[in-house]
Structure 1
Amino acid sequence: MEVDPGHLRLAHVVHQRQSNSMDRIGFFFLATEWNGEPVNREPTKCLGLQRFSVHDLPDDIIEYPKEGLLGYLHEHGGLTQHGWA
């Protein structure tokens, strides 16, 4: 899949505390136009690509992408902090 950067809009940011020694920031973009179909570019890390309803997400979804998706959908002000007790 190819996306022209001009067709990306910042949708949400997640500041994730993964452990006591690691945190990360995830930037989530909304693509308004694209060419092609999504491709799994990390087959050693990801078993495959599937589409899910936001009301029926899989139990094994990775937490910080889930928080980014839900933060965007529920309009949590553009930023979610996750795992910071």
Structure 2
Amino acid sequence: MANPPTLVIGVHLVLLEEDRVLLGLRRNTDYADGLWHLPAGHMEAGEAVTRSMTREAEEELGISVAESDLTLAHTLHHFDPDDGHSRLQLFFRTARYGGRISNREPHKCDRLRWWPLDGLPADTVPYTAHALAEIGRGSSLSVLHRP
């Protein structure tokens, strides 16, 4: 292949409590400030995707999640026209975690809040709302070619 695509890999934690999902209000970041988003981050060089997710859970929420407790709930191929990158967004669920959820990055997250899955705020990151709807439908894969 002459020009293989370069993919950015995002990891997202879908924490559910009854019919509610945990979202954080983004601030002071380079993307989607003022919008609600799942606890998330990017895979770092040399890191397994499951390790990326457990690292982000610890850094953002102060909870420990075993890699073996992660389940891939949805994969989203997302093309971002703003920066031209093709992104593979991986959405993980876990049945258990250790510790108490807290906002460990208040400089990037204004606050955390549990939202009903059928009542997400209008100002949710669009691809996040898309993926949560797909997860609710039981879809394991989707493609989205807009922000």
Specify if TM > 0.5. Answer: yes
Deviates more, 1:56-65 or 1:12-21: 12-21
Q: 1: CA distance between counterparts of 2:104 and 2:75?
A: 22
Segments of 5+ residues of structure 2 without an aligned counterpart are: 1-62
CA deviation after TM superposition for structure 1 residue 44, in Å: 3.5
Count of residue pairs the alignment pairs up: 83
Q: What is the alpha-carbon root mean square deviation over aligned residues? A: 1.8
User: Using CA pairs below 8 Å that are at least 6 residues apart, which structure has the higher relative contact order?
Assistant: 1
Instruction: Indicate yes or no: 2:142 matched with 1:74.
Output: no
Q: 2: CA distance between counterparts of 1:75 and 1:81?
A: 15
Q: Counting strand residues as a fraction of each chain, which structure ranks higher?
A: 2
User: Normalising by the residue count of structure 2, what TM-score does the alignment of the two structures yield?
Assistant: 0.50
CA deviation after TM superposition for structure 1 residue 41, in Å: 4.2
User: Normalising by the residue count of structure 1, what TM-score does the alignment of the two structures yield?
Assistant: 0.82
Segments of 5+ residues of structure 1 without an aligned counterpart are: none
The percent of aligned pairs where both chains have the same amino acid is 28
Query: Cα distance 1:58–1:18, how it changes in 2: closer, same or farther (>3 A)?
Result: same
Which amino acid in the other structure matches residue 11 of structure 1? A
